[in-house]
Structure 1
C-alpha cells in the first residue's frame, strides 16, 4: 500500500476505486512505479476472518500461498490472529499473490492484483470436516475467476450444504460479475447461497438495474439474506421479507477504504451466527467497517470487542 495523488492514478492508467488483475510482469513494473509502501497482510476473505476472530469467533481459513517470504508472512499473520490455517504452501512459483494498492488523499483505494499461487488452490486441499463443522462457509467472488479455485469453491458449497450449513458469498467486484455473473445468478437461482453480500455497484451489475431500490426488490426474493452496502450512505439488508437499514458509523477521518466491505461482512456475520436481530447485524458491520477505514490496512487495529459491546448489550 502506498499513498498516491489523483494525477498518479491517471498517469499509471489505473481505474480509481476499482480492482485490476495483473500478470507477474505487470505487477513488478507497477511495484517499481510505487512510492514508499507498507506491506500488510490482506486478502478479502482473510480480512473478514481477521475481523471475525478479533470479535471472538472461531475461524478457519482455506487459501493458497507459495513457499516464499510473502507466503510465510501471510501464514504467520493469520495464525497469530487466532485463525486456523492448514492449507499446505505450493512451491516457490508462481509466487504468493499480492495486491498493489494506491490510496489517494480522499481515502479511496485503487487495487491492482497479481493472483499468483492463490489461483491454484486445488479442490483436494479442502478439509471437508472443517467446512462441515462451520456454521457458515464464506466465499469471496474474486477467486471465482481462476478455474482451479472455482472448482474448489463448488466442492466447498456442496460439502457445506450437505452438512446443513449456511453458505455466504461476497460478490467482491463488478468486474467479477461481468465475467461470471451467469454463474452467480445460477447459484442464487439454485438456492446454493444463503447470505449474499454486495455493494450498490455490484448489485446493479448483477441485476442490470441502475436504481438501488429496484435492484433490492428484484434480488431480495431470490436469496434468504441479502446485504448491500452503500459506503457513506449506510447499508440495507433483507432477510425472509424483513427489511433493515443502518447509517454509516461516524469516522473522524477516512484514511483508507481498503477492507471496508470485508470488515462489514465480519461484523454482520458475527451477529448472524449469534442470532442477533437483522438491524443489530448491520450495526455491527457498520462499526467494524468504520474502524478499518480509520487507518491504513484492511485488518482491525482497535479492540473490536469493546467497540461492539454496547450494541450487543
Structure 2
C-alpha cells in the first residue's frame, strides 16, 4: 500500500456560518457554529488515508481537551500518530467564518504547532519509509526545511503546499519536488496574477507545480513539458474550507500510485468537489469509493 507521511499542523477548527463575513469593526449575526478537527497537516493526512493510503503524521498537539480530540480524530481516521507529540499548553486553533457562497476567512493561532521547530529522533526514519512527504507552512519554517531535506536524502517525493503564503527560502525550494499553491498563493509568491505566468516563474525554482484554481480546476506545469489545465466537476459549494487540502491529499496518493498527471489531477479534483458539498474540513473529506464513483 502507498505510504504517505505528513509533517504538519493539527488545529481545532472553530467555525461560524453567516450570510457574509464581517468587515473591520463590524459584527454580523451567524446562523450556526461548529467545532471540528482541522489544520492543514491533519486535513491532508485524513484526505490521503480516505483516498486509500497508509498515512503517518508528525506534528504536535497541546495538553488541553482539544489535543485529546485531535489525537482521537486522527487515530479514528486510521492515521498513525506514534510520532505526533503532545506538548504542555494549548493546541492550535483556527477561527473560521464561512459565508453563503461557501467562501471562508480564517485566523490561525499556532500554539502547540509552533513548538515543532525541528525533527526528533525517529522522524527522519519514518520519512525515509514514505512514498511522499506532505508539507505546509503552519509549522515553523525550520522544521519544514529539515523535513524536506530529510526526504531528499532518502529519495522521497516532497509535496509542499505554500500556505499561509510567505517567501520561501532557496533551501526549501531546492528540496521540493512538487509545489501546490492555490492561485492566490501563486500570485503572492511570484507577483504575477495570471496562473500561467505564475507557473512559469515558479518553474525557475521547482521542477513542477500544480496551481489550484477553485471551480476552474487545476493547472499543472513541469519543466520541459506543456502546461496541462484540468477542469473541476461542476458542483454547488457550501463550504470550501478544506478543498485545497483534500485535493493535495488525494493528489499525493494518485501520483504515488503511478497515475498519469492528467488522471491524477482529475481524480484529486473529484475529491475536492465532493468535499465542498459538505460542511466542515476533515469531516467533509470523501472516501476512495466516492472519488472513484464521481
- 2:87: which partner in 1? 90
- 1:152: which partner in 2? 143
User: Within 2, Cα distance between the matches of 1:125 and 1:158?
Assistant: 14
Pick one of 180, 192, 211 that aligns with 1:197: 180
Pick one of 152, 166, 178 that aligns with 2:157: 166
- Matches for 1:22-61 after TM superposition, within 5 Å: 36-61=32-57
User: Within 2, Cα distance between the matches of 1:227 and 1:302?
Assistant: 20
**TM-fit CA distance, 1:120:** 0.7
1:267–1:287 contact (8 Å) kept in structure 2: no
Superposition TM-score, scaled by structure 1 size: 0.82
Aligned-CA RMSD value: 2.2
- Matches for 1:67-82 after TM superposition, within 5 Å: 67-82=63-78
User: Within 2, Cα distance between the matches of 1:230 and 1:70?
Assistant: 32
- 2:23: which partner in 1? 10
User: Within 1, Cα distance between the matches of 2:286 and 2:183?
Assistant: 29
User: Within 2, Cα distance between the matches of 1:135 and 1:259?
Assistant: 23
2:195–2:211 contact (8 Å) kept in structure 1: no
Q: Which moved more, 1:224-233 or 1:298-307?
A: 298-307
User: Within 1, Cα distance between the matches of 2:50 and 2:283?
Assistant: 8
Q: Which runs of 5 or more structure 1 residues have no equivalent in the other structure?
A: 15-32, 144-148
1:239–1:278 contact (8 Å) kept in structure 2: no
Q: Could you say if the C-alpha distance between residues 70 and 34 of structure 1 is closer, same or farther in structure 2, counting changes exceeding 3 Å?
A: farther
* 3-state SS in 2 of match to 1:217: helix
Superposition TM-score, scaled by structure 2 size: 0.87
- The structure whose residues are more often strand, as a share, is 2
1:51–1:300 contact (8 Å) kept in structure 2: no
- 2:189: which partner in 1? 206
* 3-state SS in 1 of match to 2:272: helix
- 1:30: which partner in 2? none
Q: Could you say if the C-alpha distance between residues 303 and 235 of structure 1 is closer, same or farther in structure 2, counting changes exceeding 3 Å?
A: closer
2:246–2:275 contact (8 Å) kept in structure 1: yes
Q: Which runs of 5 or more structure 2 residues have no equivalent in the other structure?
A: 1-14
Asked if residue 107 in structure 1 is aligned to residue 102 in structure 2, the reply is: yes
2:180–2:248 contact (8 Å) kept in structure 1: yes
- The structure whose residues are more often helix, as a share, is 1
- 1:146: which partner in 2? none
Pick one of 124, 129, 134 that aligns with 1:128: 124
Size of the alignment, in residue pairs?
277
Q: Of the two structures, which has the highest relative contact order with CA contacts closer than 8 Å and spacing of 6 or more?
A: 2
* 3-state SS in 1 of match to 2:138: helix
Pick one of 277, 281, 285 that aligns with 2:264: 281
1:63–1:121 contact (8 Å) kept in structure 2: yes
1:195–1:223 contact (8 Å) kept in structure 2: yes
- Matches for 1:167-186 after TM superposition, within 5 Å: 167-173=158-164, 176-177=165-166, 181-183=167-169, 185-186=170-171
User: Within 2, Cα distance between the matches of 1:12 and 1:112?
Assistant: 16
* 3-state SS in 2 of match to 1:84: coil
1:225–1:239 contact (8 Å) kept in structure 2: yes
